[in-house]
Amino acid sequence: MSKEQHQLKASNPIGIFDSGIGGLTVASAITKLLPNEKLVYFGDTAHLPYGDKSADSIKYYGIRISQFLLEHQCKLIVIACNTASAQAFETIKDFVGNKAIVVNVIDPVVNEVAGMASSKHVGVIATKGTVKSDIYAKKLKTAKKGLEVSSLATPLLVSMIEEGFFNNKISRAVIHSYLDRPKLKKIDSLILACTHFPLIKPEIEEYYKHKMNIVDSAGVVAQEVAQVLKTNKLQNKLKNPRHQFFVSDYTDSFEKSTHYFFKGKIKLEKADIWK
């Protein structure tokens, strides 16, 4: 790429990637807040879920997907996956360099929770990879002294959501089984530390009888993206932008989910970037 191509342009799209449909919650929140922005979304369905993959594998996936998004001239890349944000953010940021701005989904949520006066004991539910990294506990305790953090790995939830099991008896049974664990008994706030989890947020709220402060990343990250674009004077003014959705392996559930979040006709394209 030439230096001219490295210059960030307001008219260029926002790139978003995740292991599957979870990042669509972030993408949807961004389009609602920033309707003039074009999105290029990559769902790495061939390697779903990221939560049980090694850190080296996730870094490799993140670099290759970021390269793909740079080839589509993305001005900003959102790592719409907590596991990838926890284990590959710095690697991806170094790889991208000055070719795009990189935003993760963890730091905006940490800042949001740290600013909440009512939070004294925060629960975190996430994939094995995110919990193993202990990144939320470390960052939250640094951001807010004296804060207690209890993290619980909930590995079944991502696969359950990807298969379309939410808002039914099966999902409620699995969700209740996790939330009943002693580790989460004394929390006053709960972070849904996986971008898939907003899809089951109503069921989680129901479990807590709507009395728990529940924080999901979608809206918080959308606000962060809006602020970053404003700060860097990169706000697009495009009318009726045409978004692009790519997957590394076609799945019915992903196609259904794109139509669920983005009303109207969505053309889903397969991009085999691993060859």
**pTM score above 0.85:** yes
pLDDT at 2: 37
The domain spanning residue 122 has which CATH number? 3.40.50.1860
Q: Which active-site residues does the annotation give?
A: 81, 194
Buried b (16+ CB within 10 A) or exposed e, 121-142: ebbbbbbbbbbbbebbbebbbe
Higher-pLDDT residue of 7 and 112 is 112
* pLDDT of 154 over the 70 cut: yes
**Which domain-ending residue is among 217, 246, 261?**
217
Q: Give yes or no for a contact between 82 and 217, defined as CB atoms under 8 angstroms apart.
A: yes
Quote the pLDDT of residue 3.
40
The mean pLDDT value for 116-124 works out to 94
Which DSSP string corresponds to 135-153? Answer: HHHHHHHHHSTT-EEEEEE
- Range of the structural domain that residue 209 is part of: 107-217
Per-residue pLDDT at 133 exceeds 50: yes
Map 27-75 to HEC letters.
HHHHHHHCCCCCEEEEECHHHCCHHHCCHHHHHHHHHHHHHHHHHCCCC
Examine the pLDDT at 210 and tell me if it is beyond 90: yes
**Higher confidence at residue 259 or residue 244?**
244
Please tell me the least confidently modeled range out of 66-70, 130-134, 226-230, 264-268: 264-268
Answer yes or no: is 193 within a domain.
Answer: yes
The count of structural domains within the chain is 2
Judgement on whether residues 113 and 182 belong to the same structural domain of the protein: yes
148-153 and 189-192 strand pairing: unpaired
Residue 178: which H helix or E strand, with range? Answer: helix 169-179
High-pLDDT (> 90) share of the chain, %: 81
Q: Is residue 94 scored above 80 in pLDDT? A: yes
Same domain, 100 and 132: no
- Is the pLDDT confidence value at 141 over 70? yes
Q: What is the pLDDT of residues 9-32, one digit of tens each?
A: 999 999 999 998 899 999 999 999
- 232 and 96 in a single domain? The answer is yes
Query: Of 87, 34, 96, 36, which Cα lies nearest the Cα of 63?
Result: 96
Could you tell me if 57 and 182 lie in one domain? no
Among residues 217, 232, 250, the one where a domain terminates is 217
My answer on whether 31 and 164 are in the same domain is no
Q: State whether 258 and 200 are in the same domain.
A: no
